[in-house]
């Protein structure tokens, strides 16, 4: 499975993107802003291609998600080998305050051109994204995500 994230807007506080799964629109992504020098909990991950797999470790966040999303959630989906980052998850959230370098997914997005970025209907999008990726992983398929930008910095 191939996912791609096309970053289209960064206002210095948040970055908005469009997510595609196998070249089909799948939702929006919100991340922290770009910084040339990484700042903990406030920087989006570098552009690139990353393998996605389950995080085998059980964390307090894993237990929270297992309880909240019982019936489909097992372990977090984590981007592997992201330079200078650890535990980069795909998860629920609405603003950059909900992310520490992770990818927040939503079915709706508000422009961050003149205010803080916001994505909505995050839970429903997360369920859709999680079930699709987990289904592929559970069948033994490789899952990759490519992050690129459609604007010049």
Rounded to the nearest integer, the mean pLDDT of the chain is: 93
Q: Report the number of secondary-structure helices (H) and strands (E) in the chain.
A: 2, 10
Distance CA 130, CA 153 (A): 31
Burial class (CB in 10 A: 0-12, 13-18, 19+), 53: middle
40 pLDDT higher than 90: no
pLDDT value at position 147?
97
Where b means 16+ CB within 10 Å and e means fewer, 14-27 reads: bbbbbbbbeeeebb
Among the listed residues 90, 89, 109, 102, the one whose alpha carbon sits nearest the alpha carbon of residue 40 = 102
113 pLDDT higher than 80: no
Mean pLDDT across 135-140 = 98
Q: Are 15 and 113 in contact (CB under 8 A)?
A: no
Question: What spatial distance separates the first Cα and last Cα of the chain, rounded to whole Å?
Answer: 29
pLDDT value at position 36?
85
Phi, psi of 121 (to 5 degrees): 55, 45
Mean pLDDT across 79-104 = 93
Mean pLDDT across 135-148 = 98
pTM over 0.85: yes
90 pLDDT higher than 80: yes
């Amino acid at each position: 499975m191939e996912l791609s994230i096309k970053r289209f807007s960064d206002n210095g506080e948040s970055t908005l993107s469009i997510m595609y799964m196998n070249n089909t629109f799948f939702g929006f992504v919100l991340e922290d802003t770009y910084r040339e020098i990484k700042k903990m909990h406030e920087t989006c991950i570098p552009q690139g291609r990353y393998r996605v797999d389950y995080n085998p470790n059980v964390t307090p966040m894993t237990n929270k998600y297992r309880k909240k999303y019982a019936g489909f959630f097992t372990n977090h989906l984590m981007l592997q080998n992201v330079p200078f980052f650890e535990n980069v998850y795909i998860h629920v959230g609405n603003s950059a305050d909900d992310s520490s370098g992770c990818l927040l997914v939503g079915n709706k997005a508000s422009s961050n051109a003149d205010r803080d970025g916001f994505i909505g209907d995050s839970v429903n999008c997360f369920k859709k994204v999680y079930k699709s990726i987990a289904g592929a992983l559970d069948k033994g398929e490789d899952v990759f995500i490519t992050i690129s930008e459609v604007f010049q910095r």
